[in-house]
Structure 1
Amino acid sequence: MTLPPFVNTPRFLRLFKLIFYPLNYLDDYGQKYGDIFAVGNQKNPLVYVSNPQGIQAIFSADKTLFKSGGGGGFIQTLLGDNSLLLLQGEKHQRERKLLTPPFHGERLQTYGKLICDITQDVTQKLKVNQSFLVREVMQDITLKVILQAVFGLYSGERYEQLQQLLGSMLEFFSYPGNGAIIFFSSLQKDWGNWTPWGRFLRTKAKVDELLYAEIRERRQQQNYSGDDILTLLMLATDETAKPMSDEELHDELITLLIAGHETTASTLSWALYWIHYYPKIEEKLRSHLLNLGEAPNLYDILKLPYLEAICNETLRIYPVVLNTFFRMLQEPLELMGYQFEPGTVFAPSIYLVHHREDIYPQPKQFRPERFLEKQFSPYEYLPFGGGIRRCIGMELAKMEMKLVLATILSQFCLKLTSRRSLKPVRRGLTVAPPTRFKMVVCNQIF
């Protein structure tokens, strides 16, 4: 059996680097070992792949060749047993079919005005000549989008409670040191409300209680008149006319919250940073937006090539999730000249692919024009993963990014409070701008 090169760093140092310096981890090992390298033991290694042809072979392989999803520990505690991210085989196919319709076509467009209205409402509190924490504002926007568009909650006691509790629960991820708790199950001990893990569990339990109460209340009242995603999922049935259970609905709501709130808030924060770090990019984008007129059609905003290029480049340079779903090999496989046995786990690396010099010249440079000059394959550009595990909320996230950015730029002139380069930090299982990142309102556009 011929295996790719193995990382020879001692395990403790390697894990420390992975938790606290995840981009350095990938940059250093990718530069040293190339397109494919392994960590762990020789029998069941974890193999990172950053070669587009290798990733294509993994994504397009017969669905029985790899096992993806499953697992336990922190991710199962967070999302629940019925999350789409954890399901496998026929259960995963069933759940994906039920979840797909609300995230595509005309149904998705119904949320466009809602996103713009929420953005305007949240940003009304911004004052000229005052700085603000960018992530805090972006999280407020994306959380309200989830509560209204996904959960179907617009006001009331339950809305207020969920908004407060969800914000508190997700604050667990704001401390890079909590990454150790996520990666080491031995640290996930409930020692009471005075510990981070204890507070997280108690807050999540309160969130669970409120979501189950909302689901039960709608079923009892037969209240299916809304156009929110929860209502659509409650009405959906599979080929046997079986609807989703309360547990399935709850776990998918939590999954959509984590996948759609945290990640989009991070990406929007990065986009605002890059747009204002390069004045020519800001000037060019504003020019394109002004050309749409005073009251542009939402469809015209969504179709702006330069706005889309900025969003694509933001997702390229610092993808929120560094690797796609891990895939465990079920049968012997030859890949890129190496032989692998069942039990090998493959990690197609989004970050390393996005930083290949041969695909993206000067990859550390933020340059939206590259997406206007060339169309990249789904194995060269994959911020939402790929294959049967590609993010189901991809189109909603892209639409939200464009509309939030266009709405903010149409209302405010902003500037960075510092010209120092912003470095990504770990935020749970993702990477994000530092929580302390601030901008200042230099003018309000009327």
Structure 2
Amino acid sequence: MKLPNGPQSPAIAQMLQWVAIPMSLMTACAKRYGDIFTLNLTIPIVIVSNPQALQQILTGDTKEFSAPSDWNKQFESLLGKNSVITIAGEAHKRQRQLLTPAFHGEMMQSHAKTIRNITEEIIQSCQENKTFCVRSVMQQITLRVIMQAVFGLYAGDRAQELERVLSAIMDAGANSPLRTLFLYYPALQRDLGKLTPWGTFLRRREYANQLIYAEIRERRQNFDASRTDILSLLMAARDENGEAMTDEELRDELMTLLTAGHETTATALTWALYWIHKFPSVRYKLLEELQNLGDEFDINTIHKLPYLNAVCNETLRIYPVGMLTFPREVKEAVNLCGYDLEPGTILMGSIYLTHQRPDIYPEPQIFKPERFLERQFSPYEFLPFGGGVRRCIGNVFALFEMKIVLTTILSKLDLELVTKQDVKPQRRGLVTGPNQQINLMVKGKR
């Protein structure tokens, strides 16, 4: 089978580059090979960044392409075997149908006040004329939001312990290239004791499981149909056969929402505050738009603010948190970008490369929110949350949360960027994030 061209270096060398410098590797390959190329990782992977090809892939989920049943097993160690991320086929369709109502627009509205209150509470610790690490504060906010919106946990020992252990799991995974290798090479996943990286992870995961299952048991015993947190909604959900989620399914979906929804949104907010304060013109335009709100905190008005929306979208475009779409496997022989691909070929869309295409985004390395005011982009040109049946189920919630948190912070604090050197993206586990700490100073409180 002839695959698209790609680097000829040994597979182990390509894998090390993939783990250490994935964006540089993809950029170099796109420059040399174009819109489609093959990387030889654990198996050959065809990387695609052409919008027309992405449309063909992402809209052909049920015919020419499918999610490979065993490809997402690298997520199982944390998320479990029943997560909407790790399963495929009919099981994936069922879980997605059970999850979707919890992210309906009306449900999001009920969480708006929670997000605002949490943000106000946490930024109170930011003192005037003092600097703070943006990422740390954003992680506190997004984890607390997830804990309350997903679990309905507002206080107490269990909430504090779950916050602590989840933060430890996420930080260890994001800051360790070795952990990333563990995910790609299951043979490395051996428990060699509590002082080793994998051994530490397993013990933290087991402790998190104990806390989550204890909460599930208590909530089943004292079910309250009036609650609007996602755990309550998932407990009440029934599939087309009238069956509810098992405890194991609930655990895996809750862990998915807790980890994916916390880390990714914190990263996006960190980047947004960096860009807003790096460019005075962006900050000025955004503050001018927010000042027109007055003292009103109407979520519908905030959600429709054009420049705020453009800033969020440009943040998600320039350095997307998710570099890639979920993999697809060719089911029927298909021609893609001039290549005849046979069944069994694994494809991944490069969100990063697509967002960096100068034919779609002139001067793509420049942060320019105005591009989202000047034109609309198709779902295959701008796809920060992926696409097709594997599109991030929490995308609406993530953008909703970004807008409320940014509006609250900018309305309460007068901030100045302390980090003067340019910040670039780097791998953080299976996603991306800033390559250095970003610090802001509180010049005053509004």
Structure-2-length-normalised TM-score: 0.96
Letter in 2 for 1:332: A
Match runs of 1:288-307 below 5 Å: 288-307=289-308
Match runs of 1:63-212 below 5 Å: 63-68=62-67, 70-71=69-70, 73-178=73-178, 179-212=180-213
Query: Is the aligned partner of 1:40 residue 2:32?
Result: no
Task: Tell me what 1:367 maps to.
Answer: 368
Return the alpha-carbon distance in structure 2 between the equivalents of residues 7 and 59 of structure 1. 26
Deviates further, 140-149 or 84-93: 84-93
Residue 174 (structure 1) shift? 3.3
Task: Tell me what 1:240 maps to.
Answer: 241
Task: Tell me what 1:49 maps to.
Answer: 48
Assess, with a 3 A threshold, how the Cα gap between structure 1 residues 39 and 437 changes in structure 2: closer, same or farther: same
Q: Say whether the 8 Å CA contact 2:166–2:259 is kept in structure 1.
A: no
Residue 64 (structure 1) shift? 4.0
Assess, with a 3 A threshold, how the Cα gap between structure 1 residues 403 and 62 changes in structure 2: closer, same or farther: closer
Return the alpha-carbon distance in structure 1 between the equivalents of residues 170 and 61 of structure 2. 36
Return the alpha-carbon distance in structure 1 between the equivalents of residues 251 and 133 of structure 2. 31
Deviates further, 65-74 or 138-147: 65-74
Residue aligned with 1:443, SS = strand
Runs of 4+ in 1 over 6 A off after TM superposition: none
Residue aligned with 1:119, SS = helix
Residues 268-314 of structure 1 show CA distances to partners (whole Å, capped at 9, x for unaligned) of: 00000000110110011000000111233122111100000000000
Assess, with a 3 A threshold, how the Cα gap between structure 1 residues 41 and 87 changes in structure 2: closer, same or farther: closer
Residue 173 (structure 1) shift? 2.3
Query: Is the aligned partner of 1:12 residue 2:12?
Result: yes
Letter in 2 for 1:82: N
Match runs of 1:209-358 below 5 Å: 209-358=210-359
Residue 221 (structure 1) shift? 2.1
Residue 133 (structure 1) shift? 1.2
Return the alpha-carbon distance in structure 1 between the equivalents of residues 73 and 389 of structure 2. 23
Letter in 1 for 2:28: D
Q: Say whether the 8 Å CA contact 1:158–1:210 is kept in structure 2.
A: yes
Residue 256 (structure 1) shift? 0.7
Return the alpha-carbon distance in structure 1 between the equivalents of residues 239 and 368 of structure 2. 44
Residue 413 (structure 1) shift? 1.3
Q: Say whether the 8 Å CA contact 1:312–1:371 is kept in structure 2.
A: yes
Return the alpha-carbon distance in structure 1 between the equivalents of residues 190 and 89 of structure 2. 32
Deviates further, 54-63 or 174-183: 174-183
Assess, with a 3 A threshold, how the Cα gap between structure 1 residues 296 and 274 changes in structure 2: closer, same or farther: same
Letter in 2 for 1:294: D
Task: Tell me what 2:397 maps to.
Answer: 396
Q: Say whether the 8 Å CA contact 1:53–1:379 is kept in structure 2.
A: yes
Residue 339 (structure 1) shift? 0.8
Letter in 1 for 2:155: S
Residue aligned with 1:58, SS = helix
Q: Say whether the 8 Å CA contact 1:69–1:87 is kept in structure 2.
A: no
Identity of aligned residues (%): 48
Q: Say whether the 8 Å CA contact 1:133–1:436 is kept in structure 2.
A: yes
Deviates further, 176-185 or 44-53: 176-185
Letter in 1 for 2:47: Y
Q: Say whether the 8 Å CA contact 1:69–1:86 is kept in structure 2.
A: no
Residues 19-78 of structure 1 show CA distances to partners (whole Å, capped at 9, x for unaligned) of: 111211111111111000112299x63101111110111111151432315336541111
Q: Say whether the 8 Å CA contact 1:133–1:435 is kept in structure 2.
A: no
Residue aligned with 1:39, SS = strand
Residue 234 (structure 1) shift? 0.3
Q: Say whether the 8 Å CA contact 1:50–1:350 is kept in structure 2.
A: yes
Unpaired runs of at least 5, structure 2: none
Q: Say whether the 8 Å CA contact 2:61–2:67 is kept in structure 1.
A: no
Structure-1-length-normalised TM-score: 0.96
Residue 2 (structure 1) shift? 4.9
Residue aligned with 1:100, SS = helix
Residue 437 (structure 1) shift? 2.2
Assess, with a 3 A threshold, how the Cα gap between structure 1 residues 288 and 59 changes in structure 2: closer, same or farther: same
Residue aligned with 2:30, SS = helix
Residues 227-263 of structure 1 show CA distances to partners (whole Å, capped at 9, x for unaligned) of: 1011001001011111111111110001111221010
Return the alpha-carbon distance in structure 2 between the equivalents of residues 198 and 69 of structure 1. 29
Q: Say whether the 8 Å CA contact 1:218–1:224 is kept in structure 2.
A: no
Return the alpha-carbon distance in structure 2 between the equivalents of residues 332 and 28 of structure 1. 28
Assess, with a 3 A threshold, how the Cα gap between structure 1 residues 406 and 41 changes in structure 2: closer, same or farther: closer
Letter in 1 for 2:9: T
Task: Tell me what 1:59 maps to.
Answer: 58
Return the alpha-carbon distance in structure 2 between the equivalents of residues 27 and 407 of structure 1. 36
Residue aligned with 1:212, SS = helix
Residue 337 (structure 1) shift? 1.5
Letter in 1 for 2:397: L
Assess, with a 3 A threshold, how the Cα gap between structure 1 residues 271 and 383 changes in structure 2: closer, same or farther: same
Q: What is the alpha-carbon root mean square deviation over aligned residues?
A: 1.6
Return the alpha-carbon distance in structure 1 between the equivalents of residues 325 and 307 of structure 2. 27
Letter in 2 for 1:177: P
Deviates further, 196-205 or 359-368: 196-205
Residue aligned with 2:347, SS = strand
Assess, with a 3 A threshold, how the Cα gap between structure 1 residues 374 and 60 changes in structure 2: closer, same or farther: same
Residue aligned with 1:111, SS = helix
Q: Say whether the 8 Å CA contact 1:120–1:407 is kept in structure 2.
A: yes
